[in-house]
Amino acid sequence: MSAILTVTLNPALDLATSVGQVVPNLKLRCGPETAEPGGGGVNVARAIMQLGGQSQALVALGGHTGKALETLLADQRLATIRIEAPAETRHSFAVTDQSSGEQYRFVLAGPTWTDAQLDQMLDQLDSVAPQDAFVVLSGSMPPGAKPGFIPHACARLGSGRKLVVDTSGAHLEAQAKGPKPAPFVLRMDSHEAETLSGLALETQAESAAFAEELRQRGAGRLVIIARGKDGSVMADGTGLWHVNASNETVVSAIGAGDSFVGGFVMGLAQGETPPEALRFGAAAASAAVISEGTQLCHRSDWDRLLPLTEITKL
């Protein structure tokens, strides 16, 4: 089994609560709050642990919020490698409107990194990641990281390590152009894919064709596009694949993408083929959306949903 190391340069202390109705200009009396460690890589590592897999989470932490987050990580027995962040760790805040069921999510920016600090982080990552590890770079890139950081990280970590990237914004746009070297996996959601392609991508076949275009362009050796309730598609060089979402109930969408990445990478690390790993990821995402707040996927739900999760070659 290959090692998995997740990287979270911009973690957050995730707070979640609910209110009767979200309206402006009033004090809104909230219900009980939950606090969970957040940030893409942290959530991926949590998902892997909750599914029964093993990983390590390299997390940049700073200030009092960073200490609180570190305590939560320790309480959850997440295997963590701490590095020092440039400044105070950020918060994020999710509020569910009980009258409509809609969820409002507020995410702060986090501290700014310099090029030198990012290079120092890559040196630390190079020193702790096994040569055949899966390295997961999930979530928003920190302020200060310039587009082009992904191929820079790929080059620094070498060809033996398999970089799995799930990001957004300018970094995703830059990666979609196919700079070399490419990460092993590039994942995005349907909205991001539509923005990049300039197309509606209404069908599974259209999304899969764009994933293949990105793969041939060199954006990633495997390219995955999530389609929400319609599952996900993947281009991996052996064909175009679709996996269904095995339930339609959504309690909380927080962490569904990170749960997908966790299940998918866990499958790859255990020696599964990419299509079978895609099934692992889709079942994890389906399990995540039926959990409240920021709880991510639970193993019992994953076990129940995995047999309902099917792969189709398009």
Question: What residues are annotated to the active site?
Answer: 258
Which residues, at least 6 apart from 137, have a Cβ–Cβ distance to it below 8 Å?
7, 41, 150, 153, 163, 164, 165, 166, 167, 183
**Cα separations in angstroms, 43 against 7, 19, 266:** 10, 25, 13
Q: Is 263 left (phi over 0), alpha (psi -120 to 50) or beta?
A: alpha
Give the count of beta carbons closer than 10 Å to the beta carbon of residue 282.
Answer: 28
Cα separation, 257 vs 61, whole angstroms: 23
Structure tokens at 11: 């973690």
Question: By C-alpha distance, which of 74, 46, 72 is closest to 295?
Answer: 46
81 CB contacts (<8 Å, ≥6 apart)?
5, 56, 57, 58, 59, 128
